Structure 1
Amino acid sequence: MRGLQINALAQEATSSEREFLVVMIKDFRLYLMSVNLHGIQNQVIIKSSIKHKGQLTNLHNDSYDRVGITGVCHCSGLLLCTRDDYTSLVVWNPYTEQSRRIELISRDGLSFPWYAIGYETRNSCRKYKVLRYNKYGGYEIYELDSNTWRVLDVKPTIWETWFHHNGISVKGNSYWHIYRGEEFNRKAREFLFCFDFTRERFGPLMPFPFQSNEDCIVTLSTVREEQLAVLCQHWAWARLRMKIWITNKIAPNEVSWDKLFLEVAVDLYPRAERELDIKNGYFLVDEKKKVAVVFDNSKGKEHAAFIFGENGCYGTVDLGKTVDKLYWSPFVCSYIPSSVQI
């Protein structure tokens, strides 16, 4: 997809309050989609509420066609893309067609590092940075202004069990949910955790507005990069129960929540069109309409998006087949076009 088309789509999306853009990874390629949840109670509109706009190309000269993308972080219109050759990263602004390849200062094939992109704000100016954590190499930070890496003096003792997700950007900082306690232990609890890109330090563990156990699956998302949303899924007796909260205040050391859904209960079996398989699924929310779009993680099958409201599941949207049977899910993140220079 050429930059001129991206610009046109961006202008179209930003001029309409009903539509927003998302980026999806499928079969190690990036795709742009539009989501319009206006009038979703109508079954015809449900089928057309999510539309493929096309594949995003020209990521980094001609190398994009030969190197796959395994992960994406989004911050203020910038996409931080991890490549499947694990030799470098790419920061890309599809709106301006600018990109920058970032060579890594350390590599370790024994672990899969995670990343985050954010910025510090000083004197009304933003300095964009990339955070990298490797289990055996510690923390490193990259500054886009100086094009340099440096090692952070941060002790990684807070990670007490498995942790593999990239950071979710809100107001320039990155957030994760982590386990405190033994993995899959009924006594384990999940917390919100933030990296402050201005101070270059982690904040304290912050509680979620619910109690979790091994039957719960917790997923984070962002609302226009100004608020954080959390989805808690719970299975019981062939019924999926979903609750969603959105922050009304968020900072590296403080958070408070409002409920979007008190509870949505969905019968898992039988399904009218397909098996419901959204554990660990990514999601997006429209807080004004109180609607959530959850993307499934069926392996080697047709991907789909499930649209939920307070009254249950409104319907599904087919996202097409995947050829890669090992890739877990069509990773999805919201995309807000911007003219940020790289």
Structure 2
Amino acid sequence: MTMTMTKLPRDLVEEILSRVPVKSIRAVRSTCKNWNLITKYERFANKHIDKATASERDKEFLVIAGDYLFSLNLNETHSRKFDLSINHRGISIAREHSDRTVFIAQAFLSQGLLLCVWRNVIDNRSRLLVWNPYWGKNKWIECPMTYCLYEWFAFGYDKSSGRHKILRFSSNNGDRYMEIYDLSSDSWRTLDAASDINTIKYMESGLSLKGNTYWYAIDYEKEDFNISLSSVKEEKLAVLFSPRDRFVIDIWVTNKTDPDAVSWSYFFKVETTQHLSGFLFENFLIDEEKKVIVIFDIYGGANNAYTISGETGHFRKVDLRQSPYKRPYRLVGCYIPSSVQI
């Protein structure tokens, strides 16, 4: 008689389920109460995530389109070209308002946790949503009542304690404020600290890496490049330079990322006949091993992407309008699942 899964020893069931791809864990949990219970234990989560992060097939990039979060994978074809596979089953990012007065202004990914900054265009107020896609749990956070014209956020964690924190910069008529939120204590506190936020390119979100958040500072009188930051998994920063007067893309990656010191090494350069001035370069991803980058071009509602090989210089256009998500794409980062509880 064949032994069914329901009669197998618990340790064996746990070992089998730990080999299921992360993107299928939601289906596993909805199969039966016993599997749902097993996969909710932290011991299983740590084993499952260890197997997933060691596997190339589970590497994915998270992207937001409108109110949906979904994933992209970069695949190599038989002809040594690269293409994007789009997960058409996006997850709705819940919000309280269904009208267009509320939108996601910024998004961060830190140690498997997603932070979305929801902005209301009517009262100029923000609410924060922290979400662990692996567990499917989220937490809404109210910002301080301080009125502001401009806001910048940072998302990271304390390496010594592992506690996640959110930093909020705000500015209004020359007055500056800085507050920090601790997820473990569910509380805000005001910081008495000065920061020169005028040089930060505030149109873009910062980029969270290894517990810290990075921006690039600009000199408005000397900037002659399109510049953007991205990350290589959760290990390195990547920066893209493109001169405004030449069809060239330069990519650099870090070999050192400390809070007070960052050093870079040259990755590759691509010369192209494509005119790149209209590209929104804050949307690009990089695969260091395959030596490939993907640039998202949503200028004028185009909603295209281009895979670019650093070895061959080959451009491949992907029309993202073929997906069910018609809104412009916002790249969040390379997703590595986390067992961190909110």
Normalising TM by the smaller chain, what interval?
Answer: 0.7 to 0.9
Matched, 1:127 2:163: yes
* Equivalent position of 1:101 in the other structure: 140
Contact map agreement 2:230 2:239 (CA 8 A) in 1: yes
Q: For structure 2, list consecutive stretches of 5 or more residues without a partner in the other structure.
A: 1-22, 31-47
1:1-342 equivalences under 5 Å are 4-5=26-27, 14=53, 16-18=55-57, 20-26=59-65, 28-39=66-77, 41-42=79-80, 46-47=82-83, 49-57=84-92, 59-60=93-94, 63=96, 68-85=103-120, 86-108=125-147, 110-111=149-150, 113-122=151-160, 125-136=161-172, 137-157=176-196, 159-160=198-199, 163-179=202-218, 181=219, 183=220, 185-186=221-222, 213-214=223-224, 216-236=225-245, 239-261=246-268, 263-268=269-274, 277-301=278-302, 303-310=303-310, 311-320=312-321, 329-334=328-333, 335-342=335-342
Q: Residues 315 and 92 (structure 1 numbering): CA distance in 2 closer, same or farther, change over 3 Å? A: same
Instruction: Name the SS for the 1:299 alignment partner.
Output: helix
Instruction: Name the SS for the 1:267 alignment partner.
Output: coil
Instruction: Name the SS for the 2:298 alignment partner.
Output: coil
Instruction: Name the SS for the 2:196 alignment partner.
Output: helix
Q: Residues 6 and 55 (structure 1 numbering): CA distance in 2 closer, same or farther, change over 3 Å? A: farther
- Matched length: 289
CA offsets 1:86-139 (integer angstroms, 9 cap, x no match) = 34111001110111100011343533x1212100022xx301000111122421
Contact map agreement 1:92 1:98 (CA 8 A) in 2: yes
Identity, % of aligned positions = 31
Contact map agreement 1:30 1:69 (CA 8 A) in 2: no
Task: Determine the C-alpha separation between the residues in 2 that align with 1:97 and 1:153.
Answer: 36
Task: Determine the C-alpha separation between the residues in 2 that align with 1:305 and 1:128.
Answer: 33
Task: Determine the C-alpha separation between the residues in 1 that align with 2:296 and 2:287.
Answer: 15
Task: Determine the C-alpha separation between the residues in 2 that align with 1:240 and 1:257.
Answer: 22
Task: Determine the C-alpha separation between the residues in 2 that align with 1:293 and 1:116.
Answer: 25
Task: Determine the C-alpha separation between the residues in 1 that align with 2:205 and 2:56.
Answer: 28
Structure number, greater radius of gyration: 2
Cα RMSD, aligned residues only: 2.9
TM-score by length of 2: 0.75
Q: Residues 166 and 40 (structure 1 numbering): CA distance in 2 closer, same or farther, change over 3 Å? A: farther
Q: Residues 307 and 161 (structure 1 numbering): CA distance in 2 closer, same or farther, change over 3 Å? A: closer
Contact map agreement 1:22 1:33 (CA 8 A) in 2: yes
Task: Determine the C-alpha separation between the residues in 2 that align with 1:18 and 1:55.
Answer: 18
Compare 242-251 and 291-300 and name the one that shifted more. 291-300
More helix by share: 2
Q: Residues 285 and 220 (structure 1 numbering): CA distance in 2 closer, same or farther, change over 3 Å? A: same
Q: Residues 248 and 305 (structure 1 numbering): CA distance in 2 closer, same or farther, change over 3 Å? A: same
**Paired letter, 1:223:** V
